[in-house]
Amino acid sequence: MTTSPQSFQAVDPASGEILASYPSPAPEVVWSSVENSHRSQVDWGRRTVAERASFFPALASLLHERKDRYGLLMTREMGKPLTQAIGEVEKCAWVCDYYAEHAEAFLAAVQADTDATISYWTYRPLGLVLGIMPWNFPFWQAMRFAVPAIVAGNAALLKHAPNVPGCADALDELFRDAGFPDGIFRNLFVDLETTGALIDHRHVRAVSLTGSVRAGRAVAARAGHALKPCVLELGGSDPALVLADADLDLAVSSCVQGRMRNAGQSCIATKRFVVVESVRADFEQKLLESVTAIRMGDPMDPTSDLGPMARLDLRDELHSQVARSVEAGARLVLGGAVPQRPGAWYPPTILADVAAGMPAYSEELFGPVASVLPVADEAEAIRVANDTDFGLGASIFTADVERGERIAADAIEAGNCFVNGIVKSDPRLPFGGIKDSGFGRELSPLGILEFTNTKTVWVR
């Protein structure tokens, strides 16, 4: 096993300025950290659920106290507008409070009526859970995996995205300052080769990945070979179905928020606007007016709606997808040109007349690009919405709530379906996808059970 000879470097995507470098640890330091986390987890897992849950209010309190500091760190490392970054920190406090309140009930033993004197099943921790996390929500994604895993009695090892090392380091500090035992949450600055070796390690009992389909396939294969469970939250190409009776003002405002928030860099961003032809022209006009009003600017400025993308390579790939879609027949309504300025900037962009065979139809566009896919009616809208390898989320806009619920519950192939609102993660609801969007669930009671041993106990 080797570690990368290069340091992990934070670069301001708004300017290209190098902010800080964090050195990779020596191999012996990595494995010593894993052993330390293992020893801590053995003791942590023996504590009662109530005792473990009692640590989380302090964690939530620190997040509230440090929201401005952590928000600024996120903004500088990956370009998220500061107001959105601060909101992300506050959401992390929410997930701490949620599991502190409900963990005992979620992990309570379940009695079973059998031929035994006593029989039930209980939920016990697995051990170390490795979290391989992305850069787009650098605090929320890590906390979303770690909080339920830790309160269930596991310890969390974090392998964060290399372009947000300051956020990774801050999360490690956060758990220490909140009084958690040493090693119960541990950030590791490791490369891909070492990450694979971590999956194989005898003390690592499960893996959680949020990332690309390619990364998901690699991690699932490695974890499967090691006979270890994993949860995968991968890409998405979420449709918003705008039906003929939809409130177009609500649909447009929701779609724009869902598409442009975090510069469109979200797995559950509304990426494909599937609009019934009878309202398409009005929808496109309202969409143009709304997107034109978006202010792209300094992410530190509270009046900015859109900051830079996280990296230049990501911006360039997005622009290539837009250009290839236009070449294939999409109509460029707005944007679509790379600004001549330092940094990873890309303007709010609208593509219309998007159809099968175009990147904007079949690929995930991870940036501020709205794609309008015209359809004849509800039946075609459902078909087009499902005509994707992804299955993370979907929205349906209609004045007929019962109709919307029927489509959401029965017709759309996705893990999260919202009616008259954008898809969002909520600690109270299961979150995850199907098809190439992954498997397993985070959050809610289901999320805390993913990394437990469901143990049957039978006594005569």
User: Is residue 432 classed exposed, middle or buried when 0-12, 13-18 and 19+ CB atoms within 10 A define those classes?
Assistant: buried
- Residues 6 or more apart whose CB falls under 8 angstroms from that of 28 comprise none
- Give the Å distances, CA to CA, from 52 to 96, 158, 369, 396, 453: 12, 19, 43, 40, 17
d(CA 280, CA 288): 12
For the question of residue 417 being annotated catalytic, the response is no
Angle (CA) 185-91-50 rounded to 5° is 50
**Are 108 and 53 within 8 A, CB to CB?**
no
For the question of residue 267 being annotated catalytic, the response is yes
Q: Which strand (E) or helix (H) includes residue 151? A: helix 140-151
Q: Kindly name the residue from 233, 364, 378, 442 that is annotated as catalytic.
A: 233
> Phi/psi class of residue 11: alpha, beta or left (left: φ > 0; alpha: ψ in -120 to 50)?
beta
Tokens of 259: 């598409």
Tokens of 116: 């035994």
Amino acid at 389: D
Amino acid at 243: L
d(CA 258, CA 91): 17
Three-state SS at 435: helix
What are the start-end ranges of the E strands in 62-154?
A: 110-111, 118-125, 128-132
d(CA 404, CA 388): 20
Q: Kindly name the residue from 92, 255, 267, 417 that is annotated as catalytic.
A: 267
Catalytic residue positions?
233, 267
